[in-house]
């Protein structure tokens, strides 16, 4: 027996697309994330390793003093740890298209009434 398949109209599909699809809206090239995300993760890990290395480099000398230095280094490492780098989701496609239409109307590329009609079509609520 086949599972229940929900058939959607093209209008419903478009509304779902505007609500759920995401677009890069933070100014970088959409393909640049393939390089920048791994680079930023590497930079955070590198900074952490450097911080640990510098803290451990200070531990030297006799066993008694080295233990005290190790305790201080351990406390310093635990005291302030930089937060991890996080990815941010893109904006919903509907918001991106709406902002573009508003900008085009403001610059006089399209008529204000045409922009308002298109924005009204974008803001159709999901079923």
pTM greater than the 0.85 cutoff: no
Query: How do the pLDDT tens digits run along the chain, 127 residues long?
Result: 667 888 999 989 999 999 999 988 877 787 888 898 899 889 988 988 888 888 777 777 666 677 777 777 777 777 766 677 788 888 999 999 999 999 999 999 999 999 999 999 888 765 4
Give the residue ranges of DSSP H helices in 1-127.
10-20, 33-57, 63-79, 93-107, 112-122
> Tokens in use for 101?
């239409």
pLDDT at 42: 92
Domain spans of the chain, in order of start: 1-26+91-127, 27-87
């Amino acid at each position: 027996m086949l599972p229940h398949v929900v058939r959607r109209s093209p209008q419903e599909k478009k509304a779902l697309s505007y609500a759920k699809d995401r677009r890069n809206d933070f100014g970088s090239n959409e393909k640049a994330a393939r390089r920048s995300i791994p680079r930023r993760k590497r930079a955070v890990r590198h900074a952490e390793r450097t911080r640990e290395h510098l803290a451990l480099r200070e531990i030297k000398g006799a066993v008694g003093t080295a233990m005290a230095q190790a305790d201080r280094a351990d406390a310093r490492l635990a005291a302030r740890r930089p937060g991890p780098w996080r990815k941010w989701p893109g904006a919903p496609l509907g918001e991106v298209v709406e902002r573009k239409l508003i900008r085009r109307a403001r610059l006089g590329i399209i008529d204000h009434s045409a922009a308002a009609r298109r924005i009204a079509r974008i803001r159709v609520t999901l079923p």
